[in-house]
Amino acid sequence: MIRALKDEDSFVRGSAASALGAMKSEKAVDPLIEALKDEDSDVRRSAAEALGAMKSEKAVDPLIEALKDKTWTIRGTIGDTVFDSLERISKKAKKRIRLT
């Protein structure tokens, strides 16, 4: 499934990210973090959702970085999802995440 994150078809990559989030495998965290940089905004959104579902504290900084993308359409597409994911992670960690 992790290999599918590199598929040439963005639908396959996004579906793989969603499936990995449902599986909550710790092995998928780093590849999903990489998927936050995918050329397709829907894949990025799926990766952000997956990382939020996994509640991995390792994903906090990369999720925050995803909010700083130079392309406003990317930021607009993934922004709410990133905030939701950060909220899920902060509840698990029982600490507030600062967006600085």
Residues 26-69 pLDDT 10s: 999 999 999 999 999 999 999 999 999 999 989 999 998 998 88
What lies within 8 Å, CB to CB, of 42 at 6+ separation is 10, 14, 77
Q: What is the pTM of this model?
A: 0.85
pLDDT at 21: 94
Residue 24: both structure tokens together? 């909550």
Tell which residue, 68, 97, 67, has the closest CA to residue 82.
67
Q: What is the CATH number of domain 2-93?
A: 1.25.10.10
> How far apart, in Å, are the Cα atoms of 54 and each of 2, 14, 64, 72?
15, 16, 16, 26
Which 8-state DSSP code applies to residue 94?
T
Please, what sign has the CA dihedral across residues 25, 28, 30, 36? Answer: negative
pLDDT at 12: 97
Rounded Cα–Cα distance for residues 65 and 23 (Å): 24
pLDDT at 67: 85
